[in-house]
Amino acid sequence: MKIYLENDKTKDKRLKTNTFFLKKMGKEFYELDIWQKGYKLAIKVYKFTKLYPFDEKFGLISDTRRSANSIIANISEAHGRFYYQDKIRVLYIARGEIDEVRSHLALAYSQKYISAEDFSDLSKSYRSLTIDLNNYINNLANQKLSAGK
């Protein structure tokens, strides 16, 4: 892949868009605030699910952990995508995974695997992540409009 310099005087619109994109996407996925927030929440989910009964090992434990991991995996995957619309599509999947984790946590709470306070804190944190993710999606959509891509 050839990386073009900022002062490249080409008239090719796609080339200019690529240069714009490369400048905007200089961060690594793990530097994104939403990835870091999702990562911290996934670590909490792993800690809480360690306390679930053993008979949930292949049920609720596995499902909750997979969903929590999928959130950050999809955020990192979206970061690696080139086209804005493709990034947004993958981020919508991450957004769905957030609700899936919240559903698993609600079930865990109903079975008294986690306390009301822990459930409330985790649920609020995941709602906050949803807001941040929506803001990121909107930002990418606006960049897409600005770049004409």
**Cα three-residue angle 61-31-87, rounded to 5 degrees:** 75
The domain ranges of the chain are 29-147
**Res 20: pLDDT:** 43
Q: May I ask the CATH class of domain 29-147?
A: mainly alpha
Q: Is the dihedral of CA 101, 138, 91, 89 positive or negative?
A: positive
Taking the model in full, what pTM does it have? 0.80
pLDDT-above-90 percentage for the chain? 77
The string of pLDDT tens digits covering residues 82-99 is: 999 999 999 999 999 999
Residue 72, by phi and psi: left (phi above 0), alpha (psi -120 to 50) or beta? alpha
Per-residue pLDDT of the chain (149 residues; tens, 9 = 90+): 333 334 444 444 444 444 344 344 458 999 999 999 999 999 999 999 999 999 999 999 999 999 999 999 999 999 999 999 999 999 999 999 999 999 999 999 999 999 999 999 999 999 999 999 999 999 999 988 887 75
- The pLDDT value recorded for residue 27 is 85
pLDDT for residue 26: 59
